[in-house]
Amino acid sequence: YNPSSGGSYHQKPWKAPKAKPSFKHVAGAAAAGAVVGGLGGYAMGRVMSGMQYRFDSPDEYRWWNENAARYPNQVYYRDYRGPVPQDVFVADCFNITVTEHNIGPAARKNASEAGAAANQTEAELEARVVTKVIREMCIQQYQEYRLASGVRPRLADAPLAALLLLVLFALH
């Protein structure tokens, strides 16, 4: 609801408040792929609850199971106008998501400088796990983005497709 939406031409557009790390209460709030107006050409991906993540140790699995509710289950990605390679999409998605959700070393430093020495290994574990989760969510979002934007055959696939059509034609 934007009570000041009428009237003046020079009025600043309404912008949603900054996202908080715990998004449990808004799990279904944004539609899949809906463009987030105040984020300058970024889109918010679909809710990815129930994803199975691959971690390197039982400690990482344990940490994620205990702390997953504190982190968002959606990522942000750039609204590209054309095809984009997966590595570029994932890197942009990761950086935008970490920035918009205020996750990362700067956020952790500001939040808990008091017991920093005691929680060094816990903070390192958190950084590893959250990095993996966001990257896997961005990879999943890229696959959905690619499907939604239409898979176009690459030039290298064209001769193979022609050969397959020729073989199928010859068999009939």
| pLDDT score, position 16 | 47
Domain range for 167: 24-171
Domain membership of residue 136 (yes or no) is yes
**pLDDT of 51 above 70:** yes
* Overall number of domains in the chain: 1
The CATH number linked to 160 is 1.10.790.10
| pLDDT score, position 121 | 86
| pLDDT score, position 105 | 56
Domain membership of residue 5 (yes or no) is no
Domain membership of residue 116 (yes or no) is yes
Q: What is the pTM of this model?
A: 0.58
pLDDT digits (tens, 9 = 90+) for 73-126: 889 988 888 889 999 999 999 999 988 877 765 555 555 554 555 567 888 899
Q: Do the Cβ atoms of 30 and 44 come closer than 8 Å? A: yes
**pLDDT of 9 above 70:** no
Domain membership of residue 19 (yes or no) is no
Domain membership of residue 156 (yes or no) is yes
Residues in the chain: 172
CA distance 4 to 6: 6
User: DSSP string covering 43-96, please?
Assistant: EE----TTPPP--SSHHHHHHHHHHGGGS-S--EEE--SS---HHHHHHHHHHH
Handedness of CA 115, 60, 45, 70 (dihedral sign): negative
Domain membership of residue 12 (yes or no) is no
Domain membership of residue 4 (yes or no) is no
Domain membership of residue 7 (yes or no) is no
H/E segment holding residue 42: strand 42-44
CA distance 8 to 19: 28
CA-wise closest residue to 129 among 60, 48, 65, 58: 60
Classify burial at 32, counting beta carbons within 10 Å of its beta carbon; exposed 0-12, middle 13-18, buried 19 or more: middle
Cβ neighbors of 116 (< 8 A, separation 6 or more) are 109, 123
